[in-house]
Structure formats: C-alpha cells, structure tokens
Amino acid sequence: MKYPGSSGGGPKTDDPDSGKGGRSHGDERSLVGSPRANKTTSQRHDPIEEAPALGREAARVLRLNDMGGWTKAAPELYPHQWSWDSAFIAIGLAHLDTRRAARELETLFAHQWRTGKVSHIVFNPDAPPESYFPGPDHWSCAASSPDAPPAPPYTSCLSQPPVHAIAALRIWEAARFAGEEEVSCARAFLGRIYPGLLSWHRYLMTYRDPEGSGLVTIYHPWGSGTDNSPRWDAPLEALAVGEVGPYPRYDLRHVGSPSQRPTNAEYDRYLWLVDLIKRAHRCDEATIYESHPFLIKDVLTSAILVAANEALTEISSLVGAPEDDRVLISGWMARGRRGLEGCWDRELGLCLDYDLRAEEPIRVRTVAGFAPLIAGCLSRARLDALLRTLDSPEFCGHRGLRGPLPPSTSPEDLGFRPRSYWRGPTWPVVNWLLWWSLVRAGEVGRAERLRRTALEQLAVRGFGEYFDPFTGQLLGSDAQSWTAAVALDWLAGETLPKAGLAS
C-alpha cells in the first residue's frame, strides 16, 4: 500500500483507537524477533530457562540492524542512527563485544555539535529518501548552523535523553569480566569519550537550562523521546499552527494499523514546531528560547541526566579527570535533584513536567512521573510514595493489564490509548530504566520480578518496539534494536547495577 503526500498532513490516521480487535504487525509476521512464535502465547515461559535461546535471538536482531560502526533502530521503520537508541544499544552490545559497543557511542559522538549537543538523529546517507520523513533535507537548518558538525552525514537540530554516560560506564563494567586486554581497551575508550560526555552534559545544564533550575528544557516532543505522550497534549493544543504543506507518512507502511502511530493532527504540530526552529537564526539556541512557543521542563530527561551525571562522576575518576570536573558534575547532580523535588505532585504521587509558556505543571499520569526514582538519592518516604503509585491501579496494579509491566500512560488517564505509541503501550526500554533504578534503590526483589516479567514478554512476543498492555500484542516495529539490547543486559546477571549506589 502506498501513502502519498496529501494536503493538511498525509493520509488520514485520526480514527479513534479502541484498543480492541485486529492483529498487530508483529503478530502477522516474524522477522527475527519472535523466538517463541511457534508456541501459543497462553503458555507460561521461564525466561531464565530460555535465556540461551533468547540471548541468541537478541544478538541476531542486533546483527540484522548492524551498519558497521552504528546500528539502525529497526530494519525498516527507523533507518538512521537515533541518539538514545544508540545508548541503549551500546548497553546490550557490551555483553557481546565491548569494542563494538564503544564504537556505537563514538560514531554518534563524532557528529556532536560545537555547543556540545548530541543530535537526536544522525542521518544515514545511504537510506533512500522515501524511507523516513522528515529526513535530512527537512533539517537543512542543521547544515547551515555554524555550530553544526561537518556534513554529510547530516543531523537534526533536536536532542534526546542523555543515556550515553550510563551506557559508557556499562561498557566498562562488562569489560571487567572480559579480561585484561578488554579492560585496557575500555579504559582507553572512556578517556576518548569523556570530553564529549562532559561537553554534552554542560550543554544540557546551560543552553537547555539558562534559569539554573536543574531541569532540562525541550523544544519539541521528539526531544523527549516520548513523542505523542499525553504529557504534550495541552502545550501542543495551545499552538497557533500555521500552514503545513503536504507531507508523506512513510512510517505507516511499517505498522499493522495507523492507530499505533501519532495522528495527522499531532504530526502537523510536530512539523510546525520544526519549521519554527528552522526559522530561529539557523537553529540558534538563544533565539529559540526567547521566542519558541513550546518550552517544557522535561522531568524524565532531567532525571536521566542526574543519573548520567552520577555515571560521569565515576568515569571522571577512572580517566583521572581534574578534581574541578568532579566538583562541577556533583553540583549538576544536586541542582537536578532539587529541580525534580520542586516538580513533585503529592496528590498524584508523581513528578510533573512544567510548561514554561503556560507557567504551570502538566498534570497527566505517565511513566515520566517516576523520574525521581531514576534520579536516585531518595528519602525512604519519597521512595515509598513512588512505589505505591507504581503498584496502584493507575499503573502496574491495573486489573486489565496482561502482566505487571508499567503502561507508558496510566489507564486511568484521559489521554490513555493502549495501542498508540507513548499513550499507553508498555516499552521494554522503560521497563529497563525502572528495573535499573529499582536495583540502585535497593529494591532488588521488586526489580527481579520486573525483569522476569519483561523477559517473559519478549520470550513470548518477540523483540517489539512496544506492546499492548492489555493483550500483550507486539506493536510498532519488530526486531527493534534497543529492545534486543536491554534483553541482553537483563540476561547478563553478573553485570547487575550496584544496589544502593544512588539510594
């Protein structure tokens, strides 16, 4: 089926999503991501007993998407290098080949901006123009910016959550189990990547937080990594959207139903925001901050930055960085935690994003609200409050769920859609973030239950991008690289994060 461009933003995809009936793309065909496709999904599987087979399939997915020095996010739907995807991919690759994992990050950071920004996409020059929209031509502002890296390959002007230092430290941890030669190579890698990581974090703490709040500002939903989350409904609705010309929806070719992807109305707003960013003196950060209508303090990105700064502190010690660096990074961590504390909503038991233009918190219930858990260093009372919310009917305790995995949006929230991208489906990478954070908080038993449930889902359904929280159906792309990567990390029990590191 072809999806030509149309006036007002591509093919009609705004039909409501009931979350019932139909078969998902992942149920209709298996690429390499469904190790149990020949068995009924009603059977129970012990992911630990099946670990060897599951690990082989996960490695096979990463080989399928391997482009040499970097990895496609998926075989068809995502033909380029995405920033936070590559970070998660490196975490998984570390258990297969620590040097290849290091190269994943170094390839990404080779295209870092002079400001320190790591773009959310580095475009694959060999990908056909009709494979993804918006492609490099739509981001021409990046090539014209004096701060942009040499091109080709071209990059976008946005960024994504900074998981990279966490991934770099994970590579080091894996190398310690692989012999002296790998340890030596990993230490050399940390020495090479450290200046870029420090510059990247400085960019987020300055250009993206001129107020010094400790919270990272995003200019676009794509910058959050949670594109169509209800977190952005009110700010997007407030936009005065101008004329948006015809554009293709190539993404719809690769999913079983348009309901699994953002709607046309959402895409119109996404592209309007991109146009405004392009008009801002060649993507100038100060101009964007002064005039852009979408400025949100993103608590999930901010929490990941706090955790990444903790990892960066450890890396700085490993590479013998100046003491001034460690003092600087420690200050960033403290500022970030203070900022998150100010976003706590006692009634909802969650941390809330803050809309700078509307000057108010965004009161929706999504997994981003567990940001303080990811940031770590919680009081017992705050940790208990977050765990109560996580276990409640608003998230993992909802009786309609197929298993106790957190939906990306609470089923009790008005914006919930069980099959629509970040509006309800469960995401393996989010499960990984919460598992990792629970272990660090000392909640090892709870973390282990989450890990086993998540692995069982992958053993039954395959390495999908996301899953219907009620039926367990694979949605979005199958053979998704970061899903395979987190599975490999879950299966590598000897490299568990240190309990209590940030509790």
What does the pLDDT read at residue 130? Answer: 86
What does the pLDDT read at residue 26? Answer: 33
**Which residues in the chain land under pLDDT 70?**
1-48, 141, 493-503
Q: Report yes or no: 503 and 445 within 8 Å, Cβ to Cβ.
A: no
Whole-number Å distance between alpha carbons of 463 and 448: 20
Count of structural domains within the chain: 1
DSSP state of 120: S
Direct distance between the N- and C-terminal alpha carbons of the chain, in angstroms, rounded to an integer: 51
Asked whether residue 11 is domain-assigned, the answer is no
Alpha carbon separation from 188 to 17, 217, 414 (Å, rounded): 50, 33, 50
What does the pLDDT read at residue 42? Answer: 43
Q: Report yes or no: 501 and 440 within 8 Å, Cβ to Cβ.
A: yes
Q: How does pLDDT run across 347-377, given as a tens digit for each residue?
A: 999 999 999 999 999 999 999 999 999 999 9
Residue 475: other Cβ atoms inside 10 A: 30
Segment (H or E) for 82: strand 81-82
Residue 384: other Cβ atoms inside 10 A: 12
What does the pLDDT read at residue 249? Answer: 78
What does the pLDDT read at residue 141? Answer: 66
Whole-number Å distance between alpha carbons of 374 and 351: 11
Asked whether residue 16 is domain-assigned, the answer is no
Whole-number Å distance between alpha carbons of 115 and 146: 10
Pairing state of beta strands 354-355 and 81-82? unpaired
Asked whether residue 344 is domain-assigned, the answer is yes
Half-sphere exposure of 86 (CA within 13 A, CB side): 32
Q: From the CA atom positions of the chain, what is the Rg in Å?
A: 21
Segment (H or E) for 351: strand 350-351
Asked whether residue 503 is domain-assigned, the answer is no
Half-sphere exposure of 110 (CA within 13 A, CB side): 16
Domain with 235 in it = 25-495
| Mean confidence (pLDDT) of the chain | 88
Dihedral sign, Cα of residue 310, residue 311, residue 315, residue 318:
positive
So which residues are the catalytic ones? 227, 465
What does the pLDDT read at residue 43? Answer: 55
The structure tokens listed for 382 are: 């705050």
Asked whether residue 10 is domain-assigned, the answer is no
What does the pLDDT read at residue 47? Answer: 65
Q: The CATH number of the domain where 398 resides is what?
A: 1.50.10.10
Q: How does pLDDT run across 179-213, given as a tens digit for each residue?
A: 999 999 999 999 999 999 999 999 999 999 999 99
Rounded (5°) CA angle 448-101-255: 70
Asked whether residue 2 is domain-assigned, the answer is no
Asked whether residue 207 is domain-assigned, the answer is yes
Asked whether residue 43 is domain-assigned, the answer is yes
